A and B are shown apart, each in its own frame.
Chain A
Amino acid sequence: MLPRVSATVAIPKPDLQQVFDNLRGSRLRLIGPTVVDGAIALGEIERTEQLPIGWSDEQQPGRYRAKHGAEKTYFAFNVGPHSWRRFLHPPRLTLFSAKANGKMTIEHDGEEPPRYAFIGVRACDLQAIAVQDRVLMNGSYRDPQYVARRSNAFILAVNCTKASSTCFCTSMQSGPRVTGAFDLAATELPDVFVLDVGSEAGSQVLEGTSWAPANAFDVGRATEAVQKAERQITREVRTDHLGSLLFEHLESPLWKEVSGRCLGCGNCTMVCPTCFCTTVVDTIDLSGRSERIRVWDSCYTTDFSHVHGGNIRPSLRARYRQWVTHKFAAWREQFGVSGCVGCGRCITWCPVGIDITEVLKAFRSTGVK
């Protein structure tokens, strides 16, 4: 027998391997957190031992440190440098190849997009996926690669039971409790995972585990664990009228001030789970076969806004403003949601530790509102 959708169940922690096996049995590739070069990255995994068991992280503006401890925790860390868009909207993708010698033939690479199971999607990242859905799947044009990868993806979400100093999901109403669409959502306790079953598929992968309906004690402990994470969140963004506040101050001298330390490296855009900008690279080989390759791009590059005669945004100040106004002002008009989910990655991975929450505060305090 399997639990029904929306049931809350508990499984002994080692049973997670059975879930992995079931997912792999349905020919899904498992992607989950795993330790790479001292950071908790996302990569292909098969066994629970590959999860960062015993690892946690410490994040601060411009600082990240993963450390190993004695406790056998599976998910006692927050989001790392990678996000799921790496798999749903890959950094590099061949669009098609073409051959032209008077006549033109266009060939579409017919490769099947991979089918994934995402293990350990945090609330903020689940919201980020929902944001990208609006951009790449629910608009007037749909990116076929994104649509295929996204529709087939199985999502095992995880509620955060600790928060980093850089997290501000509570302000962006994305976490730390998972609320979006998932197949399973887990809360880790010392002995069991408490699981919310979000879909038929989520129920089916419990086949062969010794799941049992969660008792009141487990549910209570799970709730308390997430509340603890919530209490740890200190950073804050006031979102009311934020878009109009920024748009009304497009030419404020504050932009120069807040971007003063910015190096223009584009790290914030590379780690951000909602950024979607891409450019296209054209290659040609000796046989005359050319390829169009889509790669991630960043509004911090000088080429980004190039038009004949120069760049629209030659100064870093202007490029910094573009990023901030897109995330916090334009996005809402474009897609009906905030472009920021409060994951804090841009704060952690900024080499000079620019803190977006402080930048927005600065506008708040000079702003009329």
Chain B
Amino acid sequence: MTSTALETVPATLRDPMLPRAAVIDAIKQETHDVGTFTLRLDEEPEPYAFRPGQFNMLYLPGFGEAAISISSDAEERDTIKHSIRFVGTVTMGLSRLRAGTEIGIRGPYGTAWPIEQARGRDLVLVGGGIGLAPLRPVIHHVLRHRDDFRKVTLLYGARSPGDLLYAESFEAWKQAGIDVHVTVDRSEDSWKGVVGVVPLLFYRIRIEPKETVIFTCGPEVMMHFVAYEALARRVPKESVWLSLERNMKCAIGVCGHCQYGPLFVCRDGPVISFARMEPYFNREEY
């Protein structure tokens, strides 16, 4: 007997919390505490496709799951890459794995960078620390379709020169027509570059406010000041896009952990416009 008030559902609804297996093809040590994992997924149950800005939940049995952005080229179909900073239970566990091992993966989840909005205009990418990882698929896109954009600028910073992610690619990105500016919070003797926090890099570039779209990912205070600098230069709030971070347990809008005001960051974010986020963003302990 079934309550007629409701539709009947198929007995085998696929459980969205079930990961699928992925093989670690290669691990590249990027910095002392970040490694890039190349993962290969079976075609089953379906071929994998994602949009720049989205993330996966990586699962290590016995340890748990971690939300990690996809940092590879969305047009490259057979493998995906994740740059992972080893900070706690799951990520430390991952750091001990070798190529050939299988891990669990679910995704892709979340919103993507609105690359369409930047087409034919200037694009400014602003990253802090590991926050460059979710921006890298945008850089890959730009490299493939450079003519779709006018000026493309990358403002990037990390704590120290040794913490700079993908540093070996900066030269190639410059060659390909991206204006790259790098800064560090703390310098070392060998460092010839800029010292200071990321938002200060805005003073090194010129912005045409109505024709500029900004994508930023990094610590929340950094993004707060990025938005501040952008707005001070009269870039509309609708053209400033943030990638947010919150504790995540499900990534599908049912565990409640990632709430940020009315948003579920896993579902309505991580990429969201400053215009939408402003009433709630960077409020004390919110």
Measuring CB to CB, which residues of chain A are less than 8 angstroms from any residue of chain B? 5, 23, 26, 28, 95-96, 98-100, 102-104, 106, 108, 135-136, 139-144, 147-148, 150-155, 181-183, 198-201, 204-205, 247, 250-251, 276-280, 282-284, 288, 290, 292, 294, 297, 299, 304-308, 312-315, 317-318, 321-322, 325-326, 329-330, 333-334
Contacts and interface: CB of A to CB of B under 8 A. Distances in A.
A343 B272 CA distance: 35
24 contacts: A28-B1, A96-B17, A100-B102, A100-B103, A102-B100, A102-B101, A103-B102, A139-B254, A143-B16, A151-B2, A152-B2, A181-B5, A183-B4, A198-B5, A250-B279, A278-B255, A282-B62, A282-B64, A283-B62, A290-B61, A304-B247, A305-B247, A326-B256, A326-B259
B253 A148 contact: no
A299 B256 contact: yes
Contacts of B104: 98, 104, 106
Looking at chain B's contact residues, the main secondary structure is loop
Which of B61, B247, B254 gathers most chain A CB within 10 Å?
B61
Interface in B242-286: 245-247, 249-250, 252-257, 259, 261-262, 264, 267, 279-280, 283-286
A265 B259 CA distance: 20
B86 to A, nearest CB: 10
Contact of B63 (A139, A282, A308, A333): A282
A318 B9 contact: no
A204 B261 contact: no
Contacts, number: 174
Which of B104, B284, B285 gathers most chain A CB within 10 Å?
B285
B44 interface: no
Nearest to B109: A141
B247 A306 contact: yes
Contact of A144 (B14, B62, B264, B284): B14
Interface size class of B (residues with CB under 8 A): 35 or more
A151 to B, nearest CB: 5
B257 A250 contact: no
A170 B245 CA distance: 39
Identify the 8 closest CB pairs spanning chains A and B, nearest first.
Answer: A277-B256, A284-B62, A181-B5, A318-B285, A333-B262, A199-B4, A290-B62, A141-B252
Given A154-B3, A183-B4, 13 more contacts: A102-B102, A104-B103, A141-B16, A148-B13, A151-B7, A155-B5, A181-B6, A278-B254, A278-B255, A278-B256, A284-B62, A314-B285, A317-B285
B24 to A, nearest CB: 10
A278 B62 contact: no
Given A96-B15, A104-B104, A106-B104, A250 B254 contact: no
Given A147-B13, A154-B1, A280-B65, A140 B102 contact: no
B176 interface: no
A90 to B, nearest CB: 14
B232 interface: no
Contacts of B247: 304-307, 312
A247 to B, nearest CB: 6
A148 B62 CA distance: 28
Interface in B1-42: 1-9, 11, 13-21
Contacts of A140: 252-253, 267
Contact of A247 (B8, B249, B279, B285): B279
Interface string B51-91: 00000000111111100000000000000000001011000
B5 A278 contact: no
A155 B285 contact: no
Which of A181, A182, A198, A307 gathers most chain B CB within 10 Å?
A307
Given A106-B19, A308-B87, A333-B262, A280 B254 contact: no
B97 to A, nearest CB: 10
Which of B7, B8, B261 gathers most chain A CB within 10 Å?
B261
B8 to A, nearest CB: 6
B257 A305 contact: yes
Contacts of B252: 140-141
Contact of B21 (A95, A104, A278, A290): A104
B254 to A, nearest CB: 6
Given A251-B283, A279-B257, A95 B15 contact: yes
A335 B65 CA distance: 26
A279 to B, nearest CB: 5
A250 B283 contact: yes
Which of A136, A139, A315 gathers most chain B CB within 10 Å?
A139
A182 B18 contact: no
A95 B17 contact: yes
A282 to B, nearest CB: 5
A8 B126 CA distance: 66
Contacts of B6: 150-151, 181
Contact of A204 (B1, B21, B63, B280): B1
Contacts of B87: 308
Contact of B249 (A106, A139, A278): A278
B253 A141 contact: yes
Given A144-B15, A278-B249, A183 B3 contact: yes
Which of A28, A155, A182, A280 gathers most chain B CB within 10 Å?
A280
B64 A318 contact: no
A136 to B, nearest CB: 6
A243 to B, nearest CB: 8
Contacts of B279: 247, 250
B61 A151 contact: no
A248 B132 CA distance: 33
A299 B267 CA distance: 19
Contacts of B13: 142, 144, 147-148
Contacts of B16: 141-144
A349 B250 CA distance: 29
B103 to A, nearest CB: 7
